C-alpha cells in the first residue's frame, strides 16, 4: 500500500511540474511574440532612426523632425505607429507633444543595435 501511495504522490508531482513547465513555455511564447511584435514595429528605417534619435530622452515632434531630417507629416505618421504598438509613449504640454521610449528593454535593444551597426568601423 505504501508503494502505491508513493507512486500516486510521484504522479501528482509530475503533473504539477508538467503544468508549471507548460506555464513557463507559454510565458516564453508570450515573450517571443512580444519581441517579434516590437521588432516588426521598429523594422522600418525611419522608425528605427526615430527611436535612435529619441533614445533615453524625451523629445518633441519638432526636435525629432530636426534630428531625422524629414517632414513633420512623415515623422508624425511613424510616431503614431510606434505609439500604437506601445513602443513609444507621449505626453502633451500646451501645443507640443513629447515622445519617449515606453520600455527599458526597447532602450537596451536600441543601444545594442547602435553598438553592432553604428560603430566607427563600418
Q: How would you write the pLDDT of the chain (122 residues) with one tens digit per residue? A: 544 555 555 555 555 555 555 555 666 777 788 888 888 888 899 998 999 899 889 999 999 999 999 999 999 999 999 999 889 999 999 999 999 999 888 888 888 887 887 665 54
- Assigned C-alpha cell, 91: 505626453
CATH of domain 44-121: 1.10.10.10
How far is the CA of 93 from the CAs of 52, 84, 90, in angstroms? Answer: 23, 20, 10
State the Cα–Cα distance between residues 79 and 75, nearest whole angstrom: 6
- Does the predicted TM-score (pTM) go above 0.75? no
Segments making up each domain of the chain, as ranges:
1-43, 44-121
- Assigned C-alpha cell, 72: 513633420
Task: Report DSSP letters for 37-85, one per residue.
Answer: HHHHHH-SHHHHHHHHHHTTS-EEHHHHHHHHTS-HHHHHHHHHHHHHT
**What letters, b where the CB count within 10 A reaches 16 and e where it falls short, cover 21-31?**
eeeeeeeeeee
For residue 97, how far is the Cα from the chain centroid? Answer: 21
Amino acid at each position: 500500500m505504501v508503494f502505491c501511495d508513493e507512486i500516486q504522490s510521484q504522479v501528482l508531482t509530475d503533473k504539477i511540474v508538467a503544468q508549471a513547465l507548460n506555464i513557463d513555455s507559454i510565458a516564453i511564447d508570450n515573450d517571443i511574440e512580444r519581441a517579434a511584435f516590437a521588432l516588426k514595429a521598429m523594422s522600418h528605417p525611419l522608425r528605427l532612426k526615430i527611436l535612435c534619435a529619441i533614445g533615453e530622452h524625451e523629445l518633441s515632434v519638432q526636435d525629432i523632425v530636426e534630428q531625422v531630417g524629414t517632414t513633420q507629416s512623415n515623422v508624425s505618421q511613424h510616431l503614431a505607429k510606434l505609439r500604437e504598438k506601445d513602443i513609444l509613449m507621449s505626453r502633451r504640454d500646451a501645443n507640443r507633444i513629447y515622445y519617449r521610449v515606453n520600455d527599458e528593454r526597447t532602450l537596451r535593444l536600441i543601444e545594442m543595435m547602435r553598438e553592432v551597426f553604428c560603430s566607427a568601423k563600418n
